[in-house]
Every structure is written in structure tokens, then in C-alpha cells.
Structure 1
Amino acid sequence: MEEEDKDVNSLSGIFDVRQFFVKIIRLWWLFLLCIGIGMCYAYYKNQFIKTVYYASSLISIKDNSNPLFTSNQSLTFNWGGTTDKVTTAIVQFKSRTHAESVVDELQYYINYIKEGEYYNTDAYKQTPFYIYADSSKPQLYGKLIRIKVLDQDYFELSTNFSDNPTARGFHYGLKKNTTVNTPTGDWKQQFKFGDSIKLPFLNALIEKRGKKIATGGEWLFNFGNYWGQVNRYKGISISQEPEGSSILKLSLSGGNKQRLIDYINTSSVLLERGELERKNKFAVSTIKYIDSSLVLQEQALKTSEQDMKEFRDKSQMLDAVSQNSDFNKRLTEFEIQKRGINSKLNYYDKLKSYLKNKTDYTLIQAPSVVGIQEGSISAAVGRLITLSEERKRREFAMRQDAPIFKEIDRDINAVKDIIYENISSSKSLLNSELNQLLVQINKVETQIKKLPKEQQEFLRIQRQFAIDQNAYNVFKAKRAEAELVKAANVSDIFVIDEAKDTGSPGTRKDSNINYLIAILIGLSIPISLAFVLTILDNYINAPKDVEKLSKIPLIGVVGKMDHPTNLIVRDKPKSTIAESFRGIRSSLHFIYDQDSLHGSRTIMVTSSVSGEGKTFTSINLATVFALSGKRTVLVGMDLRKPKIFDDFEIENDLGVSNYLVNDCSLNDIIRSAGMENLDIILSGPVPPNPSELIMSRRAGEMIEQLKKDYDYIILDTPPLGLVADALEIAKHADASLYLIRQGYTKRGMLDVVNEKFDRKEVKNISFVFNYLNERGKYGYGYGYGYGYGYGAYGNGYHENDQKKSWVNKLAGFAEKLFKRK
């Protein structure tokens, strides 16, 4: 238990917890002020809390392959699994390129603004007009332009420019900063809805949102930070629901619900469109190839048809077809087969050259375009396109030096080797077939050569027409097939739930949090101040502080009481202050040296510094002894700053200093205090050598003589902490009272008297705690049994003054000051 008490005392020596709470209580007004200011500021901040809206949509990522064709028959090839597609879609949604596309599509760099009482709001799709910017022209950047609807047809634009004829601009098509020419000063101009605005700093079209709009409304708009908008929407939130599935949830939050909805929906549409274009890329390139071939074949067919018409007009051979149709039919079939073989051989040569010289294999035409139905070739080309597409997709999410690219490249090279081998073997078979076909063609041509020249020419023209028409029909069929494949292709991205305004009111930050923060800050400031004041407080504030700082006993506590002079005990003998001094008088009996040769007692009153109440205590203690019937003398031994004479209204022209220099006798300096049993010896004029006089033999003789004539001798001495005079006087004292004043005496000031006490340079010394402001003000119960301040006994038992108003206090202070002067 004793160890716990030591710990508590040790902690209290470092930080006075009780004093800390007392300071907190005394700062009640600061609590109210800080909390009041904080609550006002919180109310002000709450006016700026914006509503945050939330929008989301669900999309599905699937492998939507064309069900009408297999990989051998179709112009497309299945290029990957669902997992890779989901990863790619997530990366694309968050990519800068995709965000740029959506921002460009919606022109989100145009800010629509509605002025509010506390802050401006995003008025996107809340204005009665649309603004369509011409992205091919530079626009004024960042400058707010006011638009006022004048009537159903006209509106007014206005703003204020600086004196500089140029301003910052931005070219949203080229995506780069520029400068634009502007007027200077105030600018205002009227325009008509639907008319193009072509100004050096503004190129746009403003249209009404509906047929009829409200007039008189005013709005603001400007062209803002393009890259800021792009970076903002790159942060779109994407999650898989459930986790690991092919269903993605796109979500955004912000201050304008419709802006969020449009971005999410447009983002899905653009990605879906791009995905479908990518899937149709193979079919489109094939259609382009067929279209170019059709043009050439159509010209050849028209030429053949024209040749036949011209020949018929000149020749009379009406039955040539019927007579030689068998020869011509066989030769025509052979020529068509020959053309088909040559087309295949030509395709193989081009394919081989393409594989050697190109790296993007997604643009290879399908083998079926030229009639190649060989499964190994079609499968190998399909596999090559699949690997090429996979490499492109992984470039969105991976670094170029990722190991997966080396693996894909190895697979691509392996497939290319297979294609090379297939091309070599297929070409060998086709050349063999071509040679056999040429033999058949030569036989038929030999038979035809036996016919007349005119018939040979007609059959040649007829045969050429049939071949060209057959080729034209084949290309038409292939084109129809490619168009069908393209029409049958669907995007792998399917919107399940598009973003929509469902009437959700949005959410606002809890305004109570600001009030709570205001209260916490309002409490923390005074508490912190009290903590700092407690840490920095180096003064003695309560009697218990004395116990912690010194071994010297505390003999009494004297309270604070307003009175024009120090003669409180004489003027108010029933006051609590008088009772305090009576308690000190009683306690002094226990510390006197009982073996003293004289019956009288000498009491020295000192302190650390001036102003701690030595004179006040000396006067009232002497008065207490005198009232008790004891012959008492009050001696002013403070030769440096004498004060006693002022309270008794006696001239300080003769006193101790005169006696010590042998200018007068002891009887000459003893004066009556104006009350029974109390005499006064003033300090006298201030001498140039007070220390030497006090240390003189005559000073000791004076005190010894006074002991013979008086019961109690009260010595008012200089501060012990400042000069050595008091230490010399202490040799003649039976008891020493060391004054400590509340909130005035510093803790370190007791080091001097503690050191002297430990060295036994002073004896029978005790502390008196002076000027205690109010009972319990510092939260201590003293338990000494002394009367002090406002009520050791109180409640009508003492003659205390009523508390004076600040006016009376000021008047009393002025009166006292006037008397001193």
C-alpha cells in the first residue's frame, strides 16, 4: 500500500492531475466559446455537403460463335475462352483509350453549371439546351460563359475577359493546348438556337432540348480539363458477380446521376461495338477482297458478253452451238477447273509470302474463298488467327517481356511450319492435277481445231463467256456467304441490366459527423490548453504542493480577503483571516525552544521574494498576540524596502537603521501602534549598508533588550531567497515563518530554504501558505484545522465582507494607491 502511495506521489510530482482538472473547470467559458464556434462552422460546412449518386449496370461476357458455320466452312474462327475475354474486357473498360472514346462521344469536357446559394452544381442534362462542340476547332479553356435564355428562339452569351487579347485554349480533336483570340473586357452577344457559333474562341452549336423551353433562366458552362475527365472515368469500379464469373458489374458514383448513367451505358455500347467490329474484321476483309475480285470479274464478263454479241451480229451461224456444244461444254468445264486450280495455287503463294513478311495474321483471307476445302489448311489458318488474336488481347494487360508472349510466339511459329508443309504438299497435288487437266484440254482443243475458223472463234467466245459468268457467280455466292456470316456474328458483350435512373435519392455524408467533430475539437482545445498550462505552471497553487516540495512543516493557511490595509485582524477581529492567525499563534507554542533563557519569544517572518505577504503576516500576527493581552512589538528589520509605516500611517523618519548607527536610543524608536499591548519599531531611513548593520553587535543587543521588555517580538525581515540579511536575523529568532503565496511563489524558490534547512542554518522554521483564493478552488481538502479565506467556520460566525463588485474593487485600489503616494 505504501508503494502505491509513492507511485501516486511520484506521478503527481510530474503532472498535477487535480490542478489539471481545476484548470479545465476554470476554462468553462473557453469550452462554450470553442464549441459555439465549432458548431457554427460545422453548420456552414454542412451546407456544402453534396448528394452522391450511384449508378451501375450488369453485362455478360460470352463466347458467342456463329452457329451457322463450322471452323472449316466459316470465314471466322473461334479465338479464345471466356476467362481471357473477361480479363480483357475489364482491362479495356479501365483503359485510357476506352475512356477517351467515351469522353469524346459524350463530350464530357463540356461542364454545365447551375449557380446555387452555397455552391455550384453539375447541371448536365438539367439545362433546357444542348451544347455540341466542334472538336475540329479550338475552344476557350476553363472560362465560365453565362448563357441566358431570352425567348423560344434566342439566347445570350456573356463573360468577362482580361485586357489580354489572347487566352488559353484547348483543341479537343487534337487533344493539345493552344491559344485563342478573345475580345477584352465585358463581352455579350445574342445567338439563335440551332445556328452554328463560329467565334475565334468558341465553335459550337446550341440547340433547345424540347420544342418549348422556359425563358429567363441563366446557366453557366465552360470547356474543362479533358485529361482530368479521362482519368476520373478510368477509375470505374468493375466487379465479377459472383466472383470468378463472366458477369461484370460496372458502377460509378458522383454528383450527377444522369452523367454516371450515360457514361456506363455508352461505355458498354462502345466496347460492344468495338468487339463486334473486331469479330467482323475477318469477314469485312474477305468481303473487300471479294468485292475487288467481283469488279474485275464483272468487267471481264461484260467484255465476253460484248464479244459474243458482236460476233453474232456479223455471223450467220445459228446452229453452231447445238452442233458443237459437247466439245465446248467439256472444254469449258476443263477451263473452269483449271482456273480454280490456278486460284488455289495463287492463294498458297500469297499465303506463304504473307506469313513470311507480315506479323498480323488476323487479316488472312479464308481458304474457302478460293474453294480450298482441305481441313488441315483451314484448321491451321484458324489456329494461327486464334493465336494472333490471343497475343493482341494479352497486350492490353501484360508487359511485352512477359513469358506468355514467348510461348504464344513459339506456337505461332509451329503452326506456320505446319502451314508451310501443307502448302508444299497441296501445291504438289494441285500441280499434278493441273498437268492431267492440261492433257484433257489439249485433246479437246485438237478436236475443235478441226472445225472451221469461224466456228472455233465462236466457240472460244462462248466458252470465255461461260467461264467468266461461272467465276462471277462463284464470287457472288461467296460474298453472300460472307455477308451472312457478318450478319450472324454477335458481340461477346451482352448488356443484362443497363444503367437507369430508378428514383434513388442518392446519399449524403452524415452531417452529424461534422457536429461531432466540432464538439470534439471544441473540447480538445480547452483541454489541450489546460494541459499545457498545467505542464508549464511552475507556481505553488495549493498547500499540498508544499508537502511534496519540502520537509519543512506547514503551520497555517491564510486566505484572501479584500481590505484597504493590512490591518485586517485589528479592523475585523472576528473575520476568518483573524481566525487563521489565531491558529498560527496556537501552533507556534509547539515549536518554541522550551529551554530559552527569556520568557519572551522572537518570531521572524520571511519569504523567498518580495510580495509574498511578509509585512501583511507580521502586522496581523503581532496584532493577534496583542489582542491576547501579550506585550508585543513589531520590528521592521527589512532595511531595504520598509513598508510597515504605510499601514500605520506613521512617518518612517526614525527607526532601526538610526538605532544601529547609534543616532538614537532604543526608546526613541519605539512607537505606539494605536492599540493596547502593541508597539512598533519602524525600519527607518534606508541605509547604504543594510547587511553590515544587521550583522552588527548592536542589532543583537537591540533584540536582546526587546526580549526583556516584551512577551513577543515579531521581526519583519527581508526575503531569505534574495539577501543574506534574514539569515543573520534568524540567529536571534525562536521561530521562523516562511511565507508562500498561492500562484505567486515558484516551486524552485523553495530550493534555497530547503538547502538551508537541511544544513541546519535555520531552526524552528515553518511555512505559512498565504493568499488562498477560495476554499476548494484547487480541489484540495487540507485537514489542518486552520481557518482560512471564506470559511473555516463561516455561515455567520465570522465578520467577513460581502464580495465587492469590480467597481468597488477598482475604487478601493485607487484610494489605497492615492494614500501611498
Structure 2
Amino acid sequence: MHTIDEGDGLDIKQEIGRYLRYWPWFIATVAIALITAFLYLRYTPPVYETYSKIKILDESGGLELPTSAFIFKRSNINLENETEILTSYRIMNQVVRELKLNTTFYIEGTVQTIQVESLPIGFKQTIHPDSITNNLSYNLKVKPNGVEVTDRISEVVYFLSKNSSRTDENNLPFELDLNIITSRADLVGRNFVINFSPLKNTALNLKSRIGVSAIGKESHLLRLSIKGGSKALSERILNKLMNVFDRDGIQDRQLVSKRTLDFIDDRFVFLAQELDSIEVGRQYFKERNNITDIQVDAELGLGQRSQSEEEVFQIESQLALSRLLENSLKSSAESDLLPANIGISNNSINGLISEYNTAVINRDKFLNSGGANNPIVKQAVAQVEDLKANINRSLKNYVSQLETSRQQYDQRNRKFSGKVAQIPEKEKLLRAIERQQKIKESLYLLLLQKREEAAINLAITEPSIKVVEYALSNYGPVSPKSNIVYAGALLAGLLIPLGVLYLMFMLDTKLHSKEDIIKENPQIPVIGEIPNIKNKEVVIFDDPNARTPLAESFRILSSNVDYILPAKDDHKGKVIYCTSTIKGEGKTYISLNLSLALSSINKKVLLIGADLRNPQIHIHIAQDRHKPGLSNYLHDVHYNWKDAIIKGFDKHPNHHIMLSGTIPPNPAQLLTNGRFSKLIAEAKEEYDYIIVDTAPTILVTDTLLISSLADATVYLTRADFTDKSLLKFSKDLSESGKLKNMAYVVNSVGASKSYGYSYNYGYNYGYNSED
């Protein structure tokens, strides 16, 4: 195959034509590819895509009573964090558990097995999902009187009849209720497969199948998708995934309310005991001292003292709440939340508590989605510890301030005591008791109000997501797609033979037509192209009037031979050698037919078989191989060469043949003993043309030894047989003068149609092969 460069005139039509000669290959490969695509589409289980859309809510708020500032906000939503939580193993494991996805069902067909959502037979799983540690697989075959169950791993076979499907006769991890079955007649002979997989493997597999992507850069929308063979099962999985994720978010936001309720419930027990003790003590004090009513002290003294006591009351209330919170902070575990807004008047402490609770929730979320060594988790833990330390310090400072204030008010109250010295000691004691009772009652009412707020917020917690679209499945499968498969098959059907032919042409080193010779040896003429004859029975030009393509091709060759013969005025016969490079190129076949073509135009022709080593002429004329011929003449000086002349064709009276004769042991010596030159000289006197069938030039030197006697040399090549590299050898013979007036003849042209040559049109033009 030639390369295309600037000096190479590429015939595009010829290049296309030699590919189109193999059009049956293209049709066959395209047909096979399309049939393969059809079978692939027919027997490949379809895969459908199911998707849904959710919106991550920006914030949620609870009920706020007039005296409350209890609120929980979600802000600065990070869709990447939400995506990680949504696809976390914890969420996937919960979905697998609730839907029992580690148990799968399939319908087994002749070629393909299709997954289904459930079996058409009553099925009850008896093995707990956590107990499945290895893969289990069972084959169910429905029969008229029951179901045959085969353990596909151990190959143990069980038979479950209508009355035995719920007994303990087997150790199957499931039960079948054959009373719950759809149309038994339709199911008889059908095969079903039940697979059990460990929860962890199933959850990890589901995690890899779930796709989550953000819709837009500024929106809070996420698109969930999954691919599977069962639309119904995929839709159930996505809907359950959204439900589990929503519940998880709600539970996170309810943690503060739950912790507040637990804290208040624990404090109610102690407050109730203290109130009962104070009321009993007050009753005992009044009974013991026979007190029914105490007159009001002097207006000024009582007013000042009342005001001072009110301030002391507020300080002691704050002290009590601070100590309660301080005790809760000391006794709480590392991950516990603190009650928010329980009545402490210090806004800084309230703000720190709110930040602490938010940090605890964030830390727990990060712990769930990442490991303890995750840098984000460590940062969140450190933030919680820092906030806890800040709250502790702030409480201590606040208590210290309250103690100092209470001491100052006590000093002032002692001053007021001098003004109300007339008030009996009993009255002081009674007021102290009443004051303690009032403090505990107000604290009890405050905590009761906070408890109601927390309970209401717990009950009305908003969802963490809004479902924009519940799970929907595409109508058509995402794979395999028929358009793409057929297009790929068509393309492959065209490219495969094209590639094969390209490699064939690229690796092909044989010559196929005269153009190949002209490219290699443009100085040596090509005087004939002999077409390949499919009917091997008609290979000899035995009828001078034949109008077959073979006859016409040799007539053309005989005419062209005259153009390479030198002009002579001696009226002697002309000697034409027929030779080739290697054996099998058809020199004997060409020699015989060329001689017959010259004979058909009323020329006396002598065909000499000079290939003494491998004679072939006798085969074509049905003569004995050992019939006396040239070798006998060359060896015996008394032998007359005319005695070896035979006539092989009745319709060619002017055609004579001299066979090679007996194969001699020394052909080269015989050809150079002088008698062959004498033979040629005498034959030239009697014949118009002497055609000499010589030996191949590259194998032996016989032809070169007698080449000087030739007037012209017809050098045979054979299409699809002769290697192009051999043309250099023949070119060297011509340029060196070892072969006279050499011209090429291409034999068997058209044997391969890949190069676009068809010679029948030329040789059949104006003739009928049957005439």
C-alpha cells in the first residue's frame, strides 16, 4: 500500500473503489452488528433512573410566650454538609433497616434475571437483619403442589407444600404462605430468587448508588437520584431516604427542648419538697407563737425595709437560679445541653448558654458524619469546652457580684432594723419564712412556665426539609439506550471491515496491476494484462476464432510484443523469451497462449520448452513428460531437432511445439554447449516466431546463459502473487542488459477485486463469448 505524499498522485476514486469492491463485507458486518445490538437490547435488563427534589429549610422557630425568648434557629446552611449527612452510612443503614433492603427478590427468566419489589407469593422473613453475616441465596420454583426451594450455596433442596410452609422442618430464613398467591396457574414453572446480604454491605452499596447534587448555586435545593431495575423499589428508597433525613433533622432540633424538659422535671421534685417544708414550718411557727395577724410597722420604716427586702429577694432569686445552673453545669455530662432562659437576668450568661447549646448540636452532627480525629470534629469539641469554661467563669463572677450586693443590702437592712426595733422578733422570723416561701413559689411558677414552652416547642417543631418532588421514575430506561446502541452497532459494522481492509492494504506487499509495476519500474513497459479466468477448464487459446476475454487478451499481447521487437530486414524469425522471477507466475501458461495467439494470425510459430528442470508444457497438451525434446537434442549430436517437433492443436496448423524432453542432470552445460544456438539459428529460418519458455531467473542461471539469443524478453508477473520487492531484481536484469528488450506482462489480473480493476468490460466490448 503506497503512502500519500506531495509527489504521489492519489486516485481518490480508485482508493474508494477498492474498498467498495468488498461491499458484501460491509453489509455482512453491519447486519451482524445490528443483530447483536438487537439481541443485546432484547436480553439486557433495563436500568431506570429515579429522582426527587428537596429543599433544606433555612430556619425553624418554636412558640414564644410573652415572657420567653426561647428560639432555635438554623442559619448559614451548607449544602455540602447536608449532602454528607444525607449520604452518610448512619442514614443509609436506617433506610436499609426500615425497608429491609438487604433482602432482594428477582424473577429468573430464560436469558435475564429482573429485580422486583416483592414476590407474588406470601413471604415472611424470619431471620433478623442483624443476624445476616454472610450472603445467602435461594431459588424458588413454583410447582402445582407447592414450591421447591434450593439453597444456591449448599445446593440443599427443600419442598414446601401448602401445609408445610410454616413448620420447623427446615432451617430456612423465611416462611412462605402459599395461600397468598396470585394466579397459581400463571406462576407454575416460574423461577424466583431471594438474596440475603449483610446490612453493612447493603448500606454501603446503597450509599454508592445514591447521587446528590445541588440545583443552582444560590438555592437550597438538592436533587436525589438512584438507578435500578425496579422503578417501584427505587421510588420507595428515595421517599424513605427523605423521610429518614427529615426525622433526623427534627430530632436534632428537638434535643434542646428535651434537655430543658428533663432539667425542669428534675428540679420540680426538689422545689416541691422545699415548698412543703417552708409551709409546714410557717404553720408550726404561727401555731407555736399564737400569731393570727401582725400590724404594719411604721409607714416610713416599713416602706424602706420593704423596698430593701424586695431587692434582697431579687438578688437571692438570682443566686438560687445561678447555683442551680452552676450545679447542673458541674453534674452534666460532656455532651449534655444546658437549659436556656430559665430566668437569669444576666444577658451575657444567657447568650453564652445559647452559643454552648448550638456548639453541642454542631459537634454531635460532625461526630455522626466524621470520625473523632476529624479536624472539624476536634475544633467543634474544643469550642464546646471553651464555651463551657466561659459559662462557669461568668456564673462565678455573677454569684460573686450577687453576694457582694446582698451583703450591702444586709448592712442597709440592719440600719432599717434600728428604725423598726419595736417590731417583735417573732414578726421578723415570720417574714423571713414568708420570704423564703415566696422565693420558692415564684421559682416554681417560672420553671412551670418554661416547661410549658419547651413542651410546646417540642410538639410543633418544623420539618428540616421540604419535599419539592417525591420520587419519580423516567419513562424510558437510561441504559441501554436503543438509539445509541444501534448507532454504535452501525458505526462498528462500518469501521470494523474498513479497519481490517486498511490493515490488509497496508500490509499487502503483492502487486495487483500494471500500475504497481509502473510505480516501481516506470522505464520498463507493460505490454499486457491477462485476466484471471474463473473457468479453469478454458485456459488454452485453442480456437483461433475464439472471442473470449482470454483470447482477446492474448491477441492484444501478441500485437504489443511486436512493438518491443527490434526492426530487422533479414526476414528471419524473431525469438521471444518468456521468463519470470519465481515459480508459479504462469510463464508456461503465457508462453503457450502467446504462441497460439501469434499462430492464429497465420504466423509460423515454434514453442520451445527450455525450462529443463521443471517442464510444464506437456501438461497442457496431454503429452508424455519423457517424450524426446530439447534436452535430447542438446545431449545427442546426431539427434535432429525436427524429429522432436509435435503438433498439439488441430486448429493451429502453423503451431509447432518442442518439449523439454528428458530432465538432464546438467541443464546449464547443455544450454551452453552451442547446440541451442544452432537450434535457434535453424528455427529462425523456418519460423516467423520462436517462443522460448525459460526457467525462472532468480532460481537458476539457465535463462541468463542463453539470454543473448533473444530478440525480446516477456517478463511474467502474477497479480496477488508476485511480491513487489521482486520487481527490483527484474529491473536490475533489464538495466544491466542481461535480458534484452524486456517488457512486463501481468498475469491473473482481477483475481482480487480490492484494487478496482475489472477487465471483462474491455475484452467483452462488442463480442459475445458464446459466438
Q: TM-score range by the shorter chain?
A: 0.7 to 0.9
Q: How does 1:399-414 map to 2 (within 5 A)?
A: 413=386
Q: Report whether the alignment pairs 1:262 with 2:236.
A: yes
Q: 133-142 or 83-92, which moves further after superposition?
A: 133-142
Out of 693, 702, 711, the position equivalent to 2:679 is 702
Shift of 1:737: 1.0
Q: How does 1:632-651 map to 2 (within 5 A)?
A: 632-651=605-624
Could you tell me which residue of structure 1 aligns to residue 33 of structure 2?
A: 38
- Distance in 2 (CA, whole Å) between partners of 1:205 and 1:345 is 62
Could you tell me which residue of structure 2 aligns to residue 817 of structure 1?
A: none
Q: Is the 8 A contact 2:60 2:72 kept in 1?
A: no
Out of 739, 747, 754, the position equivalent to 1:770 is 747
Shift of 1:17: 8.0
Amino acid at match of 1:722: L
Out of 333, 339, 342, the position equivalent to 1:365 is 339
Out of 568, 573, 594, the position equivalent to 2:541 is 568
- Distance in 2 (CA, whole Å) between partners of 1:201 and 1:126 is 16
In percent, how many aligned pairs have the same letter?
22
Provide Cα deviations, 1:569-606, integer angstroms capped at 9, x if missing partner.
44655544334333333333332233576622111111
Q: Secondary structure at the match of 1:590?
A: helix
Relative to 1, partners in 2 of residues 1:672 and 1:229: Cα closer, same or farther, differing over 3 Å? same
- Distance in 1 (CA, whole Å) between partners of 2:239 and 2:180 is 28
Q: How does 1:82-101 map to 2 (within 5 A)?
A: 83-84=76-77, 86-101=79-94
Q: Report whether the alignment pairs 1:380 with 2:375.
A: no
- Distance in 2 (CA, whole Å) between partners of 1:789 and 1:468 is 123
- Distance in 2 (CA, whole Å) between partners of 1:630 and 1:146 is 90
Relative to 1, partners in 2 of residues 1:605 and 1:701: Cα closer, same or farther, differing over 3 Å? same
- Distance in 2 (CA, whole Å) between partners of 1:5 and 1:285 is 85
Could you tell me which residue of structure 2 aligns to residue 178 of structure 1?
A: none
Could you tell me which residue of structure 2 aligns to residue 65 of structure 1?
A: 61
Q: Secondary structure at the match of 2:136?
A: coil
Q: How does 1:721-740 map to 2 (within 5 A)?
A: 721-740=698-717
Q: Secondary structure at the match of 2:194?
A: strand
Q: Secondary structure at the match of 2:743?
A: strand
Could you tell me which residue of structure 2 aligns to residue 290 of structure 1?
A: 264
- Distance in 2 (CA, whole Å) between partners of 1:617 and 1:316 is 153
Amino acid at match of 1:637: A
- Distance in 1 (CA, whole Å) between partners of 2:637 and 2:289 is 178
Out of 135, 142, 151, the position equivalent to 1:160 is 151
Could you tell me which residue of structure 1 aligns to residue 738 of structure 2?
A: 761
Q: Secondary structure at the match of 1:363?
A: coil
- Distance in 2 (CA, whole Å) between partners of 1:148 and 1:6 is 69
Could you tell me which residue of structure 1 aligns to residue 721 of structure 2?
A: 744
Shift of 1:93: 1.4
Contiguous gaps of at least 5 residues in structure 2: none
Could you tell me which residue of structure 2 aligns to residue 175 of structure 1?
A: none
Could you tell me which residue of structure 2 aligns to residue 518 of structure 1?
A: 489
Shift of 1:336: 7.4
Relative to 1, partners in 2 of residues 1:239 and 1:197: Cα closer, same or farther, differing over 3 Å? farther
Relative to 1, partners in 2 of residues 1:463 and 1:736: Cα closer, same or farther, differing over 3 Å? closer
Q: Is the 8 A contact 1:566 1:647 kept in 2?
A: no
Q: Is the 8 A contact 1:52 1:508 kept in 2?
A: yes
Could you tell me which residue of structure 1 aligns to residue 509 of structure 2?
A: 538
Provide TM-score, normalisation by structure 2: 0.80
Q: How does 1:210-229 map to 2 (within 5 A)?
A: 214=182, 216=184, 220-224=193-197, 226=199, 227-229=201-203
- Distance in 1 (CA, whole Å) between partners of 2:383 and 2:545 is 113
Q: Report whether the alignment pairs 1:662 with 2:662.
A: no
Relative to 1, partners in 2 of residues 1:234 and 1:374: Cα closer, same or farther, differing over 3 Å? farther
Out of 479, 491, 510, the position equivalent to 2:451 is 479
Could you tell me which residue of structure 1 aligns to residue 531 of structure 2?
A: 559
Relative to 1, partners in 2 of residues 1:438 and 1:229: Cα closer, same or farther, differing over 3 Å? same
Q: Secondary structure at the match of 2:270?
A: helix
Relative to 1, partners in 2 of residues 1:715 and 1:440: Cα closer, same or farther, differing over 3 Å? same
Shift of 1:62: 1.9
Shift of 1:426: 4.3
Provide Cα deviations, 1:23-72, integer angstroms capped at 9, x if missing partner.
652461x44443333333222222235251433133341222335169x9
Shift of 1:639: 1.0
Q: How does 1:549-628 map to 2 (within 5 A)?
A: 549-550=520-521, 551-561=523-533, 562=535, 564=537, 567-570=540-543, 573-595=546-568, 599-628=572-601
Q: Secondary structure at the match of 1:59?
A: strand
- Distance in 2 (CA, whole Å) between partners of 1:198 and 1:655 is 101
- Distance in 1 (CA, whole Å) between partners of 2:278 and 2:148 is 68
Relative to 1, partners in 2 of residues 1:189 and 1:536: Cα closer, same or farther, differing over 3 Å? same
Out of 397, 404, 407, the position equivalent to 1:424 is 397
Provide Cα deviations, 1:504-554, integer angstroms capped at 9, x if missing partner.
745465424333333333333333332233233332222322222223111
Provide Cα deviations, 1:609-646, integer angstroms capped at 9, x if missing partner.
22322222323333343444433322221111123334
Q: Is the 8 A contact 1:54 1:253 kept in 2?
A: yes
Relative to 1, partners in 2 of residues 1:440 and 1:190: Cα closer, same or farther, differing over 3 Å? farther
Q: How does 1:415-454 map to 2 (within 5 A)?
A: 417=390, 420=393, 423-433=396-406, 436=409
Contiguous gaps of at least 5 residues in structure 1: 165-183, 782-787, 801-821
Q: How does 1:299-378 map to 2 (within 5 A)?
A: 299=273, 320-322=291-293, 340=317, 342-347=319-324, 349-350=326-327, 360=335, 363-366=337-340, 368-369=341-342, 371-378=343-350
Q: Secondary structure at the match of 2:503?
A: helix
Relative to 1, partners in 2 of residues 1:496 and 1:676: Cα closer, same or farther, differing over 3 Å? closer
